[in-house]
């Protein structure tokens, strides 16, 4: 019997799954044969079951002859179950000999086992000993949340299978990163978690990040979450078995079963409980919520300056200017192009931006050019920070600068080496005093497609990096308002610097033909695969949860359906060992996460008192605790305009990464005016707001089209007025995990009409955003739950009836926004050109009472940048029976010309004059003029 102390479950056995896309009939037959073998695997028997009030342990032994479906079965396993908190259950199954890889504690710190009493916890664990299976259920309603009894557990050296039965037609979300529907299709759906270069973010494919956590929403029966702490490549199938039942199945090529169950039971509760596991989001500087601009292909530093000036001339606020790899000398990290981006002009650019209260961000890639006379590589080689082959030479690949070595983020000297480059290159005294950093290509993307590639030869054959062929553009010939004389027509950069820079380029170009790397045998080691049993001389790979040393590195027999092909394709080869003795086979999905985390620490070393801002392309579970993310190299299309909403919903509400957004107007392909106008509006209601385009595309800065410029002005104006509301929502996600972006079912969990909605969202918990999503349309149909709302733009009262509403004639400069009844929203009275100027504007408080005449809201204030915040305000606003009050803490006082004054309070839904205030009969709103200073409690009765 499967024992919940007294629970019995009916168990059945069935197996059904799709065959990968194969062309050779022999390959198809081989796959079918192996999967039939899986179906006949014996499973395990549990013994030595020991239970306590807070835990359960057992031994698991293979129950029969090994099936060896994809690799060798592991005979002896261990089971550990921990009731960690009242709402969290931990279930772990691992090999008794501790050889199978487990994610390092330093990479993903484990949540504390708080030893909750099993007699009181929200979740209960049940075990069946022979054949072994387990189930998890809710205590309060008996709902079975996870049931592994349908097929046997398979645990092999290169394959692990675990299946759970699901309800029919389940509501499953999460499992990022993907561009698929927000609520998954469930009849025949596959999610692959294998971080990969993914141009144009294809659907039904693995993308840049791996977040193996899903939310299972069951309406009035509650919402729960399941997190699998496993970084090995995996495929998660959500399908129907041959006999009709619905299931979710993990298929991994390595690692252990390490599951965390989150009880919820409300959707946002699961988000908070996941934050307890994966880490709470970093708090970002206030200015990062401003509008950002970038393009790959800005020719020189003057063009960068001109874009900044053009935004000012167009009257469109620009907070942050970015520069892609264009600024580098032959695309090498920690350099500047001496002709187009000379250091003196770069420093002048940054100082000018700072004087204008604007910010600057630059890009870095993980591939370090593996040539002599390049100090970052020479120093890194000396400090042994690069991934090594068995003979001790540096493993090479190809990225933007040509043949590159890859930092080993597990090596003990890597953090210091990386930080040293930051302190030297990006220091305020004689370097580029940037404000944030962007790490890209860190899946890691490798232009060498497979292990037979010779990186040196490929770089030569493909002309990587391309050689400079044109003289630098001296100037546009147009004045650049707001910038120094050196940026104006007729000026030139410092002649000595140009001469010196040109000489350095000539010296470098001489090394491109017949150049020698520091490691004598590095080219040979990079042009042929390492022996499958070779181990780096750094640390032993036997035992100690390092992973087996004799696996099929490049094409495991279980084929994870990566859109790139074999798992080791276009990345660091999976037979590469890390410093600690683990293998890229298991740690591949951690590479970008670790690069970003290392960069976060380097930014802290550079400015210890200031919150870092690091944007990364590749992520893993927990990345949000330190860094932000954009959704990668999307396309300038209506489809990807819509996709950005689905991606945002998953990352913010389910993966605890609130500072996310897409490349507004699209990265690849030429943007179209009407689409870009819509996207400018949509992006303003997402957390991270950046316009970015690819090298070969037309320019798509917001000022390029009159219609887009008009839409952007409106979008940024309202975004900036709401910035303190947004900043407050961000703050609370960083402190208690409350999502700053909410899918509709998070706020209306029993309304089944909301479960599939993926093109509307709540910004915070008060503003319902319903953009036009049809191509070239001025009509939108959106859902209004059975609740009271107010039109944000007109303040008119709108009764939601739990039905769709269609609105036509929505201009390309408009976006429907509604205020949820019961909300109080802080605003700035006016917008501004920069966030620093914005913070000088007074507040106004907008009250939108619910049907009972009540409303609540909150406001968080701090200095916007410091890590330590001794003086903050956390203000709670409330409204009931005509009485408005502001209570809480009021530690943040007016400083540096920043306003803490409330100029007015507006109460919506009013039809008569009160004791105080002025009635606008047309808008049915009462305005009560202040001022009140938020230095203590205040309020009034209307």
> pLDDT by residue (tens digit) across 345-384?
999 999 999 999 999 999 999 999 999 999 999 999 999 9
Regions of the chain short of the pLDDT cut 70: 1-33, 470-472, 474, 492-543, 896
Active site residue 443: yes
Cα separation, 886 vs 618, in Å, equals 42
In the chain, which residues fall in CATH 2.60.40.1760? 38-175+211-276
> How many Å from the N-terminal Cα to the C-terminal Cα in the chain?
66
Cα separation, 723 vs 716, in Å, equals 10
The domain made up of 742-941 has a fold known as Immunoglobulin-like (2.60.40)
In the chain, which residues fall in CATH 2.60.40.1180? 742-941
The domain made up of 288-366+408-443+588-726 has a fold known as TIM Barrel (3.20.20)
Contact 177, 210 (CB under 8 A): yes
CA dist 34 → 28, 57, 137 (Å): 10, 32, 33
3-state class of 499 per DSSP?
helix
Alpha carbon 412 to chain centroid, angstroms: 27
pLDDT at residue 598, as a whole number: 98
Which pTM was predicted? 0.93
If 0-12 CB within 10 Å is exposed, 13-18 middle and 19+ buried, where does residue 24 land?
A: exposed
The single-letter DSSP state of residue 486 is G
Q: Output the six-digit token pair for 438.
A: 């962007």
Catalytic one of 147, 156, 440, 580: 440
- Structural Rg of the chain based on CA atoms: 29
Catalytic one of 326, 633, 724, 814: 633
Q: Are strands 619-620 and 209-210 parallel, antiparallel or unpaired?
A: parallel
In the chain, which residues fall in CATH 3.20.20.80? 288-366+408-443+588-726
Q: Output the six-digit token pair for 465.
A: 């990096």
The single-letter DSSP state of residue 712 is H
Nearest-5° Cα angle at 409, 406 to 410: 125
Residue 832: beta bridge partners? Answer: none
Contact 629, 641 (CB under 8 A): no
Tally: H helices and E strands in the chain: 17, 48
pLDDT at residue 543, as a whole number: 63
Indicate the class that CATH gives domain 38-175+211-276: mainly beta
pLDDT at residue 126, as a whole number: 98
pLDDT at residue 539, as a whole number: 52
Catalytic one of 326, 333, 443, 862: 443
pLDDT tens by residue, 136-184? 999 999 999 999 999 999 999 999 999 999 999 999 999 999 999 999 9
Cα separation, 628 vs 606, in Å, equals 18
Q: How many Cα neighbours within 13 Å face the side chain of 693?
A: 18
Contact 89, 82 (CB under 8 A): yes
Cα separation, 385 vs 693, in Å, equals 33
The single-letter DSSP state of residue 43 is -
* Type and span of the H or E element at 873: strand 873-880
């Amino acid at each position: 019997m499967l024992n919940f102390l007294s629970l019995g479950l009916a168990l059945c056995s069935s197996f059904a799954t799709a065959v990968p896309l194969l062309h050779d009939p022999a390959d198809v037959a081989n796959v079918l044969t192996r999967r039939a073998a899986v179906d006949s695997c014996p499973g395990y028997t549990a013994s030595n079951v020991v239970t306590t009030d807070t835990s359960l342990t057992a031994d698991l032994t293979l129950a029969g002859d090994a099936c060896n479906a994809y690799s060798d079965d592991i005979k002896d396993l261990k089971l550990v179950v921990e009731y960690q908190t009242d709402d969290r259950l931990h279930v772990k199954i691992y090999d008794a000999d501790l050889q199978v890889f487990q994610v390092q504690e330093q990479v993903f710190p484990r949540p504390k086992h708080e030893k909750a009493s099993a007699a009181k916890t929200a979740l209960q664990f049940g075990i069946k000993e022979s054949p072994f299976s387990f189930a998890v259920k809710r205590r309060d309603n008996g709902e079975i949340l996870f049931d592994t009894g349908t097929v046997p557990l398979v645990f092999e050296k290169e394959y692990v299978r675990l299946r759970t039965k699901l309800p029919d037609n389940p509501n499953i979300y999460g499992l990022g990163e993907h561009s698929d529907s927000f609520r998954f299709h469930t009849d025949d759906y596959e999610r692959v978690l294998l971080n990969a270069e993914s141009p144009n973010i294809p659907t039904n494919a693995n993308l840049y990040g791996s977040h193996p956590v899903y939310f299972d929403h069951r309406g009035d029966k509650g919402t729960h979450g399941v997190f699998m702490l496993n970084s090995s490549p995996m495929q998660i199938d959500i399908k129907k078995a041959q006999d009709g039942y619905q299931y979710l199945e993990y298929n991994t090529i390595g690692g252990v079963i390490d599951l965390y169950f989150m009880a919820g039971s409300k959707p946002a509760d699961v988000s908070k409980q996941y934050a307890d596991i994966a880490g709470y989001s970093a708090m970002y500087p206030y200015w990062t919520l401003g509008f950002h601009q970038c393009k790959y292909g800005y020719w020189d530093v003057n063009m960068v300056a001109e874009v900044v000036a053009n935004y000012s001339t167009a009257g469109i606020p620009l907070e942050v200017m970015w520069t892609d790899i264009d600024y580098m000398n032959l695309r090498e990290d920690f350099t500047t192009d001496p002709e187009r981006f000379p250091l003196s002009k770069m420093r002048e650019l940054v100082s000018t931006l700072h004087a204008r209260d604007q910010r600057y961000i630059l890009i870095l890639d993980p591939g370090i050019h593996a040539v002599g006379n390049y100090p970052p590589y020479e120093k890194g080689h000396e400090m042994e920070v690069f991934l090594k082959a068995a003979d001790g030479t540096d493993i090479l690949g190809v990225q933007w600068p040509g043949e590159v070595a890859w930092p080993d983020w597990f090596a003990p000297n890597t953090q210091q080496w990386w930080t040293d480059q930051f302190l030297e290159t990006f220091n305020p005294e004689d370097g580029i005093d940037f404000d944030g950093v962007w790490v890209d290509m860190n899946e890691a993307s490798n232009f060498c497609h497979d292990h037979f590639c010779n990186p040196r030869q490929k770089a030569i054959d493909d002309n990587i990096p391309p050689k400079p062929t044109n003289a630098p553009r001296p100037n546009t010939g147009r004045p650049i308002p707001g910038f120094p004389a050196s940026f104006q027509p007729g000026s030139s950069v410092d002649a000595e610097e140009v001469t010196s820079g040109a000489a350095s380029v000539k010296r470098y170009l001489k090394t491109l033909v017949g150049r020698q790397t520091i490691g004598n045998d590095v080219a040979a080691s990079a042009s042929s695969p390492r022996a499958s049993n070779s181990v780096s001389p750094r640390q032993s790979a036997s035992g100690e949860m390092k992973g087996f040393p004799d696996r099929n590195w490049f094409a495991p027999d279980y084929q994870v359906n990566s859109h790139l092909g074999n798992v080791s394709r276009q990345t660091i080869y999976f037979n590469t060992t890390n410093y600690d003795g683990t293998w890229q086979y298991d740690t591949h999905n951690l590479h970008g996460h670790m690069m970003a985390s290392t960069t976060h620490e380097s930014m802290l070393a550079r400015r210890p008192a200031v919150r870092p801002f690091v944007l990364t392309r590749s992520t893993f579970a927990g990345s949000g605790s330190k860094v932000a993310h954009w959704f990668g190299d999307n396309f300038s299309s209506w489809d990807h305009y819509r996709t950005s909403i689905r991606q945002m919903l998953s990352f913010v509400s389910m993966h605890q990464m609130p500072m996310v957004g897409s490349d507004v107007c699209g990265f690849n392909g030429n943007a179209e005016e009407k689409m870009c106008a819509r996207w400018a509006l949509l992006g303003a209601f997402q957390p991270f707001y950046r316009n970015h385009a690819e090298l070969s595309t037309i320019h798509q800065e917001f000022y390029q089209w009159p219609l887009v410029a008009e839409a952007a002005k409106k979008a940024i104006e309202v975004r900036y007025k709401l910035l303190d509301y947004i900043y407050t929502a961000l703050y609370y996600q960083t402190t208690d995990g409350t999502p700053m972006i909410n899918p509709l079912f998070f706020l209306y969990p029993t309304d089944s009409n909301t479960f599939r909605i993926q093109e509307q969202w709540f910004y915070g918990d008060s503003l319902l955003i319903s953009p036009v999503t049809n191509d070239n349309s001025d009509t939108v149909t959106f859902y209004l739950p059975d609740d009271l709302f107010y039109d944000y733009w007109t303040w008119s009262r709108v009764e939601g009836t739990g039905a769709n509403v269609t609105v036509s004639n929505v201009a390309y400069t408009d976006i429907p926004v509604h205020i949820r009844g019961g909300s109080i929203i802080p605003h700035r009275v006016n917008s501004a050109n920069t966030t620093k100027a914005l913070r000088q504007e007074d507040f106004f408080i907008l009250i939108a009472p619910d049907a009972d005449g009540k409303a609540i809201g909150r406001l968080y204030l701090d200095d916007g940048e410091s890590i330590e915040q001794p003086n903050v305000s956390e203000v709670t606003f409330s409204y009931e029976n005509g009485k408005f009050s502001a209570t809480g803490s009021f530690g943040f006082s007016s400083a540096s010309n920043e306003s803490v004054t409330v100029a007015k309070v507006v109460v919506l839904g009013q039809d008569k004059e009160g004791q105080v205030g002025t009635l606008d009969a047309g808008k049915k709103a009462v305005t009560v003029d202040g001022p009140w200073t938020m230095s203590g409690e205040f309020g009034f009765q209307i």
